[in-house]
Amino acid sequence: MAERLVVIGGDAGGMGAATAARRLRPDLEIIAFERGAYTSYSACGIPYAVGGEVASLDDLVVRTPAQFREANDIEVRIHHEVTELDVDHRQVAVHDLRWGATERVDFDLLVIGTGARPRRPELPGIDHPRIMGVQTLDDGARLLAAKDAPRVVVVGGGYIGLEIAEAFLHRGAAVTVLERSKEVLGGLDPDMGAVVSAAMRRHGIDVRCGCPAIGFEAGSESNTVVVRTGDGPIEADLVVLGLGVAPNSELAATAGLRLGAAGAIGVDRRQHTSAEGVWAAGDCCESHHLVTGEATYNPLGTVANKQALVAGTNIGGGYATFPGVVGTAVSKICDTEVARTGLNEVEARRAGYQVHVATIEATTRAGYFPGAAPIRVKMIAERRSGRLLGAQIVGEEGAAKRIDVVATALHAGLTVEQMTSLDLSYAPPFSPAWDPVLVAARKVATMIGP
C-alpha cells in the first residue's frame, strides 16, 4: 500500500510542502484537509482586493483544490477541520464542517500548515459582528461584503492594518487608525514610522497614536459599533483588527509537539517538528533569526514559501535546510514605500547591542532626473565590530526594494565598512551615483571607532 502524507491546513505552508514532496515522490498518497473554502492563496493581496486595485479575491488564489488534484495528484478536502492529532497512532481526526461527520485518517507522514489567525484583544465587546480580521480569504470575503462601510476604524497600526486602512480610504470611507504605541509600524523605529503616519494624514486618514481601543459596544443603529478609546468613543460601521496574527498551533500543542517562539510550532532547520515524521511550514511555525541567532516568529508569505519548499523536499526524501530569516518586510501605504530588515534601533538595543545609527536623505534617481523621489535610509551597526545589524527605508516610488541589498548583506554578515564599496548599479533613471544605501553605510561607517 502507498505511504500516505496528510496535510493539515490548506495555506501556502502545507500545500507548498505537499507540492514539493509530490515532485520527489510520485508514489505518495497525499490528502490535505482545509477547514475553510480556499487553498494556497496570497493573503497579502487581500487589502488590494478590498481596495479595488485587484478585481477579485479569486485573483489571489494560486491553485484551487481542483488544480491540486489535476496538476499534483493531491486530494484536497475543503471544509474539513482536523480536530485531533494522535502522533503515536499516526492518526488524525477530521471533522466535516458541512455534514458534521468525523472520521479518523491514518498517516505515515504529516505536515502541519495551519497558518495563523488575527490576534483578537481580550476587550469588552470584541465579539461584535462588525469587528473583523484580515488573514484568510474567508476574512477577505467578509471585508469585501462590507466594503461600502462609510466609517471604518482600524485597530492596530501594523502593515496589514495600514494597508487595509488605505483600502477603505480608496473605497471612500472615513477611516480612523488606532495605535497603542507612540507611532505606527512597530517594525520601524518611531522616527521612521512618523514619516508614514504623516503621509497617511495627508491622504485624509485619521491616525491616532498612543490611543488604544479599550472596548467595543453596540452602536446607535444596528450594524454599527462604538469603539471606546481614551480620546472618547468613535462610532463606526466596521472595525478591522490589524494587531498582527497568532499561530494556529493548538492542535500541535495538544498532540505534545514542542512549541517555540511566540507559541508557534517548534521546528529544526529541516522544518521537522519534535515528533518523528511530522513536519511544519508556514505561519503556524517559528523561524530562526540570523541576526540575533534566536528563534523568532515571522509569519510572512515569503517565509512560508521557503519553509514549504524545504519541508516538502525533506518529506520527499531529499535534503534541504532553511537557514532562517533576517526580518525583512516591505509595504506601500498612501504612496509611501516602507521597508525594514534586520533589527531596528529599538530591537537592537533591547537585544543588548551597543550601536551606531545613521539616517540619510537622498533621492531614488539622479537628482536631476525626472521622477527623482525622496528616500530616507536609517542604518544600524554594532559598535566596534561595525557589523551591519539592520536598516529601514521610507520613501516614494522606487525606494523600498533597495532593502534587499541590506537583507543580502545581513545574510552574508557584512560590516558597514564592507558595504561602502558594494558595486551597486547606477544610471540616472535608477539611482544617484552613490546609491542611498551606500550613503547610509558610509555615514554609519564613519562612526565606527579605529
Residues with a catalytic annotation lie at 44
Calpha distance 120→39 (Å, rounded): 23
Residue 434 in the binding site for its own copies (CB under 8 A): yes
Closest CA to 325 of 282, 347, 285, 296: 296
Binding mask 38-77 for its own copies (x = CB under 8 A): ----x-xx--x----xx----xx-----------------
Q: Which of residues 6 and 310 has its CB atom nearest to its own copies in the complex?
A: 310
Residue in 175, 177, 330, 441 binding its own copies, rule: CB under 8 A: 330
Residue 404 in the binding site for its own copies (CB under 8 A): yes
Binding mask 273-302 for its own copies (x = CB under 8 A): -----------------x---------xxx
Residue 374 in the binding site for its own copies (CB under 8 A): no
Site stretch for its own copies (CB under 8 A), options 99-107, 167-175, 225-233, 395-403: 395-403
Neighbours of 288 (CB within 10 A): 20
Give me 430's grid cell: 535608477
Residue 425 in the binding site for its own copies (CB under 8 A): yes
Residue 323 in the binding site for its own copies (CB under 8 A): yes
Q: Which of residues 232 and 450 has its CB atom nearest to its own copies in the complex?
A: 450
Site stretch for its own copies (CB under 8 A), options 97-105, 145-153, 196-204, 406-414: 406-414
Q: Which of residues 208 and 402 has its CB atom nearest to its own copies in the complex?
A: 402
Residue 214 in the binding site for its own copies (CB under 8 A): no
Matching residue, cell 558610509: 442
| H-run or E-run covering 440 | helix 436-445
Using CB under 8 A as the binding criterion, the count of chain residues that bind its own copies stands at 67
Residue in 175, 343, 405, 444 binding its own copies, rule: CB under 8 A: 405
Beta bridge partners of 32: 7, 76
Three-state secondary structure string covering 256-316 = CCCECHHHCECCCCCCECCCCCEEECCCCECEEECCCCCEECCCCHHHHHHHHHHHHHHHC
Residue 187 in the binding site for its own copies (CB under 8 A): no
Residue 421 in the binding site for its own copies (CB under 8 A): yes
Beta bridge partners of 106: 91
Measured at the alpha carbon of residue 276, what is the angle toward residues 271 and 280, in degrees to the nearest 5? 30
Site stretch for its own copies (CB under 8 A), options 99-107, 181-189, 203-211, 429-437: 429-437
In 16-161, the DSSP E strands lie at: 29-34, 74-78, 80-86, 91-96, 102-106, 109-112, 116-118, 131-132, 151-155
The upper half-sphere exposure of residue 387, i.e. CA atoms within 13 Å in the direction of its Cβ, equals 15
Tell me if 338 sits within 8 A of 188, measured CB to CB: yes
Give min distance, CB of 13 to its own copies, in A.
Answer: 12
Q: List CB contacts of 145: < 8 A, sequence separation 6 or more.
A: none
Residue 12 in the binding site for its own copies (CB under 8 A): yes
Q: Which of residues 1 and 55 has its CB atom nearest to its own copies in the complex?
A: 55
Calpha distance 268→306 (Å, rounded): 14
Site for its own copies, rule CB under 8 A: 12, 42, 44-45, 48, 53-54, 59-60, 159, 290, 300-303, 305-306, 322-332, 337, 339, 341, 366, 368-370, 398, 400-405, 407-414, 418, 420-431, 433-435, 437
